[in-house]
Amino acid sequence: MWSEFPGADNGVIDGWNNGNTGSVLVSDDETDASHTHIKSGVTDPVRAIIYNGTKNTTDTEVTSAGFGMDRRNVRTIIKLPASVDWDPSLPNNSSWTYNATDHTITQDVPRNNRGNFFLDFTVKFNSTQSVNDTTWTRLDFPQTNYLINDSGTLDMSTERKSKVYKSYRYKKKLNIYKHIVMPEQNGSAYYTNDKYVHLNANGGVNKYIIGLSQFWGNGVTPAAGSVVKFKSIADIPNDAVIFKGYGIRVWESMFDAANLAKLSHNKLIGVNDDNTEEVIATNIAYTPANTVNAFYKWDTDHSMTEKHYKSIRLDFDDEITISGYGENAVGLFAETKHTPALISRIEGKLTLGNNDVTVNYGNAYSSAGTEIGSAVVRNYYKPDYANMYLEKHSQQVNGNQTMTNVQLGDTITYHVVPRYVTFLGAPRNVDNGKLIFLADPELTFDHVEHNPYQSGYRFT
């Protein structure tokens, strides 16, 4: 039987609220040259759920997933969007009947005592489906279900409308990032994006890694033979720094033997403020880094004569091809420290109680010298502070947290949490701290006790 409830028709078929069949990242191989449309011929599976659902009696739209049971077979009609073509030879398509007039597919299926079940099909894009790299583009497949009478006719009173949908977004194959590398914590690598840091922390040095890889999302299976290529990696501070060290870190399984050999044929170039260039080092041997801890280790691979450069650039003698798929493949590691002028600027702002920020870029370049990727990371600075305060947690009257009215003789219990919040260059304990809790003078103090967790882990 079908269950129903009344409701107004808003004119829009939203359908089953679980009709989302997935989000798909499409990359360079699946999009046109401008990466604004999915290429003609790209295929993608879609799954529709068929069920007896609660409906709006005015417009027959399915509005909830509650269902009953009916022994009759089910006819499902899916309206295909204009951006896809129908190809009966694709996986799961042979059981569907295509109607070219209204661009729909239909299938009659025995219920077989199933409250709900899935039907799959595969669509082929025709180059008209737009995508972009900032928002998800949703593609709707309106769906209508009917029960089929034993005579073969449709029971029109059982019409149910819903929709299946998938979302698509473009993501470049060449993945580039720039991370701040910090000293290891608990034996594990520690790296991060934008971060508040202390000016003189870690001996006053800052370390970064600009990483390149072929990666555009977890759970993605790239097409056979998919690769990305590059020629150079550059570290470009926006604020004046002094370079102290460098390294090339390589996740070796991301490269074939020929390209692993190419990685050690290179030049590290320092770019001066007047744009003249000088060679810092040549034929730098890469550091095998086949784990996250090795790839983001704190220790600097190679030291150098300290000097201010506007930027440094690692040029490989030959174009490098990344054939593996993963988040990490090759990284240019850089160790820097601020120039005296930059330190003075930051200190001046902190003294006045203001914040400051340094901005650091990482770029990738093709064999033609054109920029093919860019990333940015920021170090934020703010004045040190240490604050203590009491945070109200709850209040009980005679053990009841919902009561607010009190009478003479009632017992009021206040649960407050002492907070100690800091931004300091080194840990600092609070000795003989005092927090004052002001109460109404008409209340009589009874006692105070520590929560077992706080007394065991927060106080000594």
Report helix, strand or coil for 57.
coil
Read off the pLDDT of residues 345-359 as tens digits, 9 standing for 90 and up. 999 999 999 999 999
Predicted confidence (pLDDT) at residue 8 exceeds the cutoff of 50: no
Predicted confidence (pLDDT) at residue 361 exceeds the cutoff of 50: yes
Report helix, strand or coil for 30.
helix
Given pLDDT bands bounded at 50, 70 and 90, which one contains residue 49? Answer: confident
Q: pLDDT value at position 7? A: 41
Nearest by Cα to 209 from 310, 298, 317, 278: 298
Average pLDDT over residues 430-447: 77
Nearest by Cα to 327 from 237, 419, 217, 423: 217
Read off the pLDDT of residues 164-215 as tens digits, 9 standing for 90 and up. 889 999 999 999 999 999 999 999 999 999 999 999 899 999 999 999 999 9
**In whole angstroms, what is the distance from residue 424 CA to residue 162 CA?**
56
Asked if 189 and 292 touch (Cβ cutoff 8 Å), the reply is yes
Q: What is the DSSP string of 388-441?
A: EEEEEEEEEETTBTT-----TT--EEEEEEEEEEEE-SS-----S--------T
Break the chain down into helix, strand, coil percent, rounded to 5. 10, 50, 45
Question: In this structure, is the dihedral angle defined by the CA atoms of residues 173, 178, 183 and 185, taken in order, positive or negative?
Answer: negative
Rounded mean pLDDT of the chain?
87
State which H helix or E strand residue 44 sits in.
strand 43-51
* Residue 38, both tokens: 């999915």
**In whole angstroms, what is the distance from residue 295 CA to residue 284 CA?**
17
Which range (21-25, 33-37, 324-328) has the least confidence?
A: 21-25
Burial class (CB in 10 A: 0-12, 13-18, 19+), 216: buried
Read off the pLDDT of residues 140-155 as tens digits, 9 standing for 90 and up. 998 888 888 989 999 8
Kindly report the pTM of this predicted structure. 0.77
User: CA angle, corner 83, sides to 77 and 89, nearest 5?
Assistant: 65
Predicted confidence (pLDDT) at residue 5 exceeds the cutoff of 70: no
**In whole angstroms, what is the distance from residue 175 CA to residue 28 CA?**
12
Burial class (CB in 10 A: 0-12, 13-18, 19+), 319: middle
**In whole angstroms, what is the distance from residue 118 CA to residue 75 CA?**
13
Predicted confidence (pLDDT) at residue 436 exceeds the cutoff of 60: yes
In this structure, what DSSP letter does residue 318 have? E
Average pLDDT over residues 411-425: 81
